[in-house]
């Protein structure tokens, strides 16, 4: 598979063909898209960029939450709602965003078209609380769509079902902190669902192919009548994937700010923000039919939106190892950036994304198009698999010999991805011993590729 799609429409063609993705069976096309055909591009991509951005970046506060759960955010709801009147990101260059994602080795992007506050980063015809009513005045989503189309980057749309501004979602005569979960018992609720349908139709008919719709439904997601919107999405764009945050399972699960402790399987629902649920997962290797497609979304520091006061950045090594951790359990890693008010991305984010990309330049074969590895629970290493290849990602480099227990497949050869050099090895029924050089090829994670029979 080429490093990047030649056009956003090509992601559908690749998903349906899957001719160079041996992990996924090929099916004859009928009147509907089968699961493996629709998700093939996504399963292969592994690494994406999440973007949380809006007027809230002006105040260095989180998106929406300052009006929902005020606590100590230091801004009133009235002041928060006035931020859009000053939002003017004149340095925004969508090509820079896409190029940074490509430099990082990210193979899809997800952009916040509307967060819980109701502000739209696209030119919706159904609200005035939107980007084209700011001093900036231009449609951010439309510009990003064009840049992604030009550079062959699949683009997905984050869309929040909650909306603190719409009077059908809640009684807006009250402060949002009093009823931010919405009020489906009110007679206005059906009007709000119609509003959602109108906006989703805009996104799916005016902005080209949508790789996915990323809902963020908060609590009691069933109130949004998810089946209605899944059907709408499939009608307008049959290939578009949908996450699990609108009260129905849809295509994939979305653990947030944590990595499941074992490989997710069907039948056990991971709640997006509760890491304890993942402890119920069986610490076994599931069959392909049992595996549940999933994606961890993660921040580089502690906040989704730009916050000049949040300096607790994860290191490049930590992020690289998180990517490996996720891939070793068959998942995707959606890593967030929060652009600054002027439309640029802060240097600390750029530095870390560039470092991840440099690691993937050498070791990407062990991440892209792989699935969960055959050996799980190792203290110092993780495994991924692709066809007859097993990739061993070593975190703590040993002295002289690396031992891999629990591998039943017959190993035919071993090599370092860093330089392609073959390694000598010995295999018994209980373990594989590999002779390794004294120095780790990569301080972040060194990868050994095993070819099996």
54-104 pLDDT, tens per residue? Answer: 999 999 999 999 999 998 899 999 999 999 999 999 999 999 999 999 999
Q: Is the pLDDT of residue 250 over 80?
A: yes
CA distances from 228 to 4, 206, 208, 409 (A): 33, 20, 21, 46
Cβ–Cβ under 8 Å, residues 50 and 97 = no
6-15, 118-127, 260-269: which is most confident: 118-127
Q: Is the pLDDT of residue 32 over 60?
A: no
pLDDT for residue 341: 98
Closest CA to 62 of 47, 50, 74: 74
Across the range 351-363, mean pLDDT stands at 98
Other Cβ atoms within 10 Å of 302 Cβ, number: 13
Band (117; pLDDT cuts 50, 70, 90): very high
Kindly report the pTM of this predicted structure.
0.92
Q: Report the alpha-carbon distance of residue 226 to residue 244 in Å, rounded.
A: 9
DSSP state of 116: T
Other Cβ atoms within 10 Å of 317 Cβ, number: 17
Q: Is the pLDDT of residue 403 over 60?
A: yes
Closest CA to 164 of 156, 155, 174: 174
Closest CA to 48 of 113, 105, 103, 114: 105
Q: Is the pLDDT of residue 7 over 70?
A: no
DSSP state of 314: P
**What are the structural domains, with CATH classification, of the chain?**
10-252+293-370 (3.20.20.80), 373-452 (2.60.40.1180)
Q: Is the pLDDT of residue 23 over 70?
A: no
Band (21; pLDDT cuts 50, 70, 90): very low
Half-sphere exposure at residue 84, Cβ-oriented, CA atoms within 13 angstroms? 21
Separation of CA 337 from chain center: 11
Across the range 260-286, mean pLDDT stands at 87
Band (25; pLDDT cuts 50, 70, 90): very low
pLDDT for residue 34: 54
**Strand partners for 403:** 433
Cβ–Cβ under 8 Å, residues 143 and 90 = no
Across the range 325-348, mean pLDDT stands at 98
* CB neighbour class for 415 (10 Å; exposed up to 12, middle 13-18, buried from 19): middle
How confident is the model over 191-238, as pLDDT tens digits? 999 999 999 999 999 999 999 999 999 999 999 999 999 999 999 999
Q: Is the pLDDT of residue 320 over 80?
A: yes
Cβ–Cβ under 8 Å, residues 269 and 277 = yes
Which one has a higher pLDDT value, 67 or 249?
Answer: 67
């Amino acid at each position: 598979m080429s490093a990047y799609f030649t056009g956003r429409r090509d992601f559908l063609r690749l998903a349906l063909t899957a001719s160079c993705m041996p992990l996924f069976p090929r099916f004859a096309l009928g009147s509907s898209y089968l699961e493996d055909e629709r998700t093939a591009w996504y399963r292969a991509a592994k690494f994406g960029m999440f973007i949380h951005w809006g007027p809230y970046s002006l105040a260095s506060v989180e998106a929406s939450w300052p009006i929902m759960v005020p606590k100590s955010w230091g801004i009133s709801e009235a002041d928060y709602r006035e931020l859009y009147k000053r939002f003017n990101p004149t340095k925004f260059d969508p090509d820079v965003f896409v190029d940074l994602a490509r430099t990082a080795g990210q193979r899809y992007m997800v952009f916040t078209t509307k967060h819980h506050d109701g502000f739209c980063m696209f030119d919706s015809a159904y609200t005035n609380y939107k980007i084209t009513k700011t001093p900036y005045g231009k449609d951010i989503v439309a510009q990003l769509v064009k840049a992604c189309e030009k550079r062959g980057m699949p683009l997905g749309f984050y869309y929040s079902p909650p909306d603190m501004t719409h009077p059908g979602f809640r009684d807006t005569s009250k402060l949002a902190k009093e009823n931010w979960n919405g009020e489906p018992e009110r007679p206005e609720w059906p009007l709000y669902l119609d509003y959602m349908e109108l906006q989703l139709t805009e996104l799916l008919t005016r902005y080209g192919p949508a790789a996915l719709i990323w809902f963020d439904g908060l609590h009691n997601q069933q109130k949004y009548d998810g089946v209605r919107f899944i059907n709408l999405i499939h009608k307008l764009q049959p290939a578009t994937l949908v996450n699990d945050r609108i009260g129905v399972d849809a295509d994939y699960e979305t653990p947030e700010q944590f990595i499941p402790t074992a490989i997710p399987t069907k039948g056990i629902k991971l709640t997006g923000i509760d890491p304890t649920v993942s402890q119920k997962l069986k610490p076994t290797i599931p069959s392909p039919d049992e595996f549940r497609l999933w994606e961890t979304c993660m921040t580089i520091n502690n906040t989704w939106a730009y916050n000049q006061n949040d300096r607790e950045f994860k290191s490049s090594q930590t992020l690289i190892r998180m990517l490996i951790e996720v891939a070793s359990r068959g998942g995707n890693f959606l890593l967030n950036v929060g652009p600054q008010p002027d439309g640029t991305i802060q240097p600390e984010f750029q530095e870390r994304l560039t470092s991840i990309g440099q690691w993937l330049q050498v070791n990407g074969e062990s991440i892209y198009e792989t699935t969960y590895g055959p050996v799980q629970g190792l203290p110092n290493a993780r495994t991924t698999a692709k066809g007859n290849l097993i990739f061993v990602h070593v975190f703590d480099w040993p002295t002289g010999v690396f031992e891999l227990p629990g591998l039943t497949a017959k190993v035919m050869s071993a090599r370092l991805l860093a330089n392609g050099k073959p390694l000598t090895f010995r295999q018994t029924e209980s373990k594989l011993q590999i002779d390794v050089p004294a120095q780790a090829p990569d301080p972040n994670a060194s990868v050994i590729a095993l070819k099996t029979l």
